[in-house]
Amino acid sequence: MSVIQVKGNVTYPITIDPSVWIFDDRKFSFDRKGASQDSHLQSAGDESDLDPERVIREGRIAPPTLKTEKQYEKQKLMNGSFAMKLGTVLKNAEPPSSATQCVFVTSSGKAAVPLETALNSIVHFSEAGKPIQEGGPVHIYFEDPVDHKQPITDIKEIEII
């Protein structure tokens, strides 16, 4: 199942589908070390590897066009790993100020964390341009780098208490 229920002490119980987040503007590049990364894909107009003598002799290559920029963005989406802050999604459920904990219900049990920690956590949803299948649909990482070795996986629902 690729959807996750958000329920409990919330104004609006919601269902989230991580497979559509690839189109969300709030996503960012993600590596397993937890730091966001910049993809360094070469566009067709990159001149860094050209012979300087040849450039002088034959003239410069035309600057990148809108078409090459679109190809670059498409390649980045097809090959990149992406994540989002969980707080951007959980805020849509509108947890009240009395809510204090977030419980991640997984196939192997439950993991409870303070709500503030959950709001600042990172939801990894795409690896190498594809939705996460093994241990998916998402992996939850916390801001503490130690937690990046053991993310919460196999999440079935999120319960706010």
What pLDDT is attached to residue 62? 58
- DSSP for residue 159: E
Does the pLDDT at position 146 exceed 50?
A: yes
Phi and psi torsions of 72, nearest 5° = -65, -45
pLDDT class of 25 with cuts at 50, 70, 90: confident
- DSSP for residue 39: -
The listed range with the strongest mean pLDDT (30-34, 41-45, 130-134, 153-157) is 153-157
Give tens-digit pLDDT for 115-139. 999 999 999 999 988 899 888 899 9
Range with lowest mean pLDDT among 3-7, 10-14, 146-150: 146-150
Domains and CATH numbers, the chain: 4-34+65-160 (3.90.420.10)
The helix/strand/coil state of 75 is helix
Question: What's the rounded mean pLDDT across residues 104-108?
Answer: 93
What pLDDT is attached to residue 49? 56
User: Is-above-0.95 flag for pTM?
Assistant: no
Higher pLDDT, 6 or 41: 6
Phi and psi torsions of 33, nearest 5° = -75, -10
Residues ≥6 apart with Cβ < 8 Å to 154: 106, 107, 108, 135, 136
Q: CA-to-CA distance for 66 and 73, rounded, in angstroms?
A: 11
pLDDT class of 95 with cuts at 50, 70, 90: very high
- DSSP for residue 12: S
Does the pLDDT at position 82 exceed 80?
A: yes
Helix (H) or strand (E) holding 4: strand 4-8
